[in-house]
A and B are shown apart, each in its own frame.
Chain A
Amino acid sequence: MSDLRSILERGVGSFDPQPEGLEPIAKRLRRRQRNRRIVSATIALLVAAAGISFAVIGLQGTKRSPRTPSSQVTKPLPANGDIWVRVGGGDGPSFVYRANTSTGSVTPLWHDRSGASLPGTLNQSAVGEQYAWAPDGSQVAFSDYTGAHEQTAIYLMDPAGTKRTQLTSGKGMASFPAWSPDGTRIAYASYTGPPPPNSAPSYDPGCEYTPECPSNIVVINTDGTETTQLTRDPIGGTMPSWSPDGSKIAFVGRVGDSTQIFVMNADGSDVVQLTASGRATEPKWSPDGKKIAFLRTFTPSLGSAPSLPTGATPPVGNSETELFVMNSDGSGVQQLTRVAPASPAAVAWSPDGTQIVFDTNDDAGTLTLIRPDGVLIRKIDVAPHFPLGDIAWRPVPAPPPTTTKSIVELPPLPVQGIVAMWSRPNNRIGVSFVKLDGHIVATLRNFIVLGSGPGPVVLEEYPRGAGAGPSKFYVLQSRQHRLRLISPAQASSSSTSRRVVGLSTPPGGVGRWTWSELSPNRLEILAQWSQQVGECSTPVAMLETTWGNMLPHPLPVVTAPLAKASASYAMGWTSGNRAVIEIGGPCGGTGTLSDGIYLFKGTQMLSRVRMPQGSYNYAMWGG
Chain B
Amino acid sequence: MREQAGERINPVVMEIETDPATCAEVARRMDLFERNWSWLEAHASEVYSHRGKFLCISGQELFVGDTVEEVLRAAKAAHPDDDGRFTRYIPKEKGPRIYAY
Chains A and B belong together in one complex:
no
Q: A residues near B, CB below 8 A? A: none
Q: B residues near A, CB below 8 A? A: none
